[in-house]
C-alpha cells in the first residue's frame, strides 16, 4: 500500500522530495493510526463494493468503512449483514486467487450498531473476516465501551489476528457541558485500559449537531458551529496531548455538490493560474462546483488543530484530503533542523528567513511532521497540494 500510487514514477519524482513510503495493513499500530487518510464511508449493502475495491475504482483509496448503522434503515439491517458477508467473501476469494494482493486491499472497517453485531457479522463472513482491519464503534460511551472492546478482543483471539477499534464520540453526554468532563474522563479510562486495540478516536460531528437540531451549510466549517467547536476543543485537549499518543481524526464533510453561495469561494485563483494557466482555472472551477474548497479549508483547520485524517462520504473527497497531508518542503526542512539541533541550540532562524525555530517548544511538532512525511511524502520545494488535484 502506498499513497498516490496511481502516479507514474516520473510524476512522483517530479512532485516529491521524499516519496510516500510503502506500508502494509499489519504494520505497527502507531504508524497505521496516522495512515488512514481520507476514510470513505459507504452503506454496507451498496452494490459492487468488492468489485470496486478489486478494480481500484476509487483512486487513492486507503481506508474504507462499511456502515451497518445510520446508513442502513432498521428494516434492512439483516439483509445488509448478509450482503456485507458476501462482499467480504468476494474480497477474500480475490486475494486467494491472485486478483488482488492482500497488501493492495485498503484498510476495511465495519461500523456496527452494537457489540453483539460484531460476533454476528464475523460469523457470517467466516474466514473472510481476515480481510478486515477492525470495527467502528458508534455512540461510544462509558456505558458500552468495555463491551465493544471485550468482543473485539474475543474475535481477535479466535481469529489469531489483531482487529482494531475506532470509537466515535457523538453522544449527548459528550457534548452537554454539565456531563462532558466526567464523560471524557470515563471514556479515557476505558481507552487507556484497551490502548493496544484503539486505532483512532473519531468525532461524530453530524450526530453531535443533531442534538441541537443543527446542520452546517455549504459556506461554513464545523469549526464555525460554536457548540461543536467547543466540544471538539475539549476532545482535542483530552486526547491529543503528547503524553497520551491518541490519534483523533477530523469529522465528516458531507457535501459533494455546490449550492447557492453566500460567501466568496475559499480558494484563491492565483496559485492555480500561476501553476497551470487556463488549465489551473478549470481545476479550481471543478473544485468549486463540487464544493471542495470548503472541504479543503476544513481539512486545513483539522491539521491546525492537531487532527489526523478525515471521514469522507464521496470518492471525490479522497485526493483533496490526502493531498493536504503531504508535508511541504519548508515544514520538513524546519522539522529536521529542529530535531538535528536538539540539545545544541535554544533558538535559531529558519533557513527560509521567515520565522524562528525554538528547539524545545517546536520539538513535538517536528516529530509529528516526520511521521507524516514518512506516510504521505514531502513535496519538492516548488510543489504543493494543488499539483495533486489535476
List the binding residues: 178, 207
DSSP string, 3-71: TTTTS-HHHHHHHEEEPPPP--TTS-HHHHTT---EEEEEETT-TTHHHHHHTT-STT--EEEEESSTT
Annotated binding-site ranges for Mg(2+): 178, 207
The conformation of residue 334, written as its DSSP 8-state character, comes to: H
| The three grid cell numbers given for residue 371, joined into one nine-digit string | 511521521
Return d(Cα 155, Cα 132) in angstroms, integer.
12
Compute the distance between CA of residue 139 and CA of residue 164 in angstroms, rounded to an integer: 17
Select from 212, 201, 208, 193 the least CA-distant residue to 238: 201
Length of the chain counted residue by residue: 390
Contact 32, 371 (CB under 8 A): no
β-bridge mates for residue 165, sequence order: 135, 198
Find all residues with CB under 8 Å of 249, minimum gap 6, and list them: 36, 39, 200, 201, 202, 203, 307, 308, 309, 310, 311
**Side-chain half-sphere exposure of 244, counting CA atoms within 13 A:** 19
Amino acid at each position: 500500500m502506498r499513497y498516490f500510487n496511481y502516479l507514474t514514477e516520473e510524476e512522483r519524482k517530479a512532485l516529491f522530495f521524499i516519496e510516500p513510503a510503502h506500508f502494509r495493513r499489519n504494520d505497527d499500530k502507531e504508524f497505521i493510526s496516522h495512515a488512514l487518510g481520507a476514510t470513505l464511508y459507504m452503506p454496507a449493502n451498496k452494490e459492487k463494493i468488492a468489485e470496486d475495491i478489486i478494480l481500484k475504482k476509487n483512486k487513492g483509496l486507503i481506508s474504507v468503512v462499511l456502515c451497518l448503522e445510520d446508513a442502513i434503515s432498521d428494516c434492512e439491517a439483516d439483509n445488509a449483514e448478509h450482503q456485507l458477508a458476501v462482499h467480504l467473501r468476494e474480497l477474500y476469494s480475490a486475494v486467494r486467487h491472485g486478483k488482488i494482493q492482500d497488501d493492495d486491499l485498503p484498510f476495511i472497517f465495519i461500523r456496527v450498531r452494537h457489540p453483539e453485531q460484531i460476533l454476528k457479522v464475523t460469523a457470517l463472513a467466516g474466514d473472510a473476516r481476515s480481510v478486515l482491519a477492525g470495527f467502528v464503534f458508534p455512540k461510544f460511551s462509558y456505558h458500552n465501551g468495555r463491551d465493544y472492546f471485550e468482543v473485539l478482543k474475543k474475535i481477535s483471539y479466535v481469529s489469531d489476528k489483531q482487529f482494531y477499534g475506532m470509537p466515535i464520540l457523538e453522544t449527548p453526554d459528550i457534548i452537554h457541558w454539565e456531563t462532558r468532563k466526567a464523560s471524557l474522563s470515563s471514556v479515557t479510562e476505558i481507552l487507556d485500559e484497551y490502548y493496544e486495540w484503539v486505532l483512532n478516536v473519531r468525532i461524530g460531528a453530524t450526530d453531535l449537531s443533531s442534538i441541537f437540531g443543527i446542520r452546517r451549510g455549504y459556506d461554513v466549517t464545523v469549526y464555525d458551529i460554536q457548540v461543536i467547536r467547543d466540544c471538539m476543543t475539549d476532545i482535542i485537549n483530552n486526547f491529543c496531548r503528547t503524553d497520551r499518543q491518541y490519534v483523533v481524526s477530523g469529522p465528516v464533510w458531507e457535501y459533494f455538490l455546490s449550492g447557492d453561495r453566500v460567501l466568496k469561494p475559499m480558494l484563491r485563483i492565483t496559485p492555480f493560474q500561476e501553476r497551470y494557466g487556463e488549465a489551473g482555472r478549470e481545476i479550481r472551477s471543478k473544485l468549486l462546483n463540487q464544493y471542495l474548497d470548503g472541504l479543503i479549508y476544513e481539512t486545513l483547520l483539522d491539521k491546525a488543530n492537531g487532527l489526523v485524517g478525515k471521514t469522507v462520504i464521496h470518492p471525490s473527497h479522497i485526493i483533496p484530503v490526502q493531498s493536504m497531508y503531504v508535508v511541504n518542503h519548508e515544514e520538513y526542512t524546519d522539522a529536521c533542523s529542529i530535531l538535528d539541533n536538539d540539545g545544541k541550540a535554544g533558538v535559531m532562524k529558519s533557513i527560509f528567513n521567515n520565522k524562528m525555530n525554538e528547539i524545545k517548544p517546536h520539538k513535538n511538532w517536528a516529530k509529528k511532521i516526520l511521521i507524516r512525511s514518512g506516510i504521505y511524502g514531502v513535496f519538492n520545494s516548488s510543489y504543493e497540494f494543488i499539483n495533486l488535484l489535476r
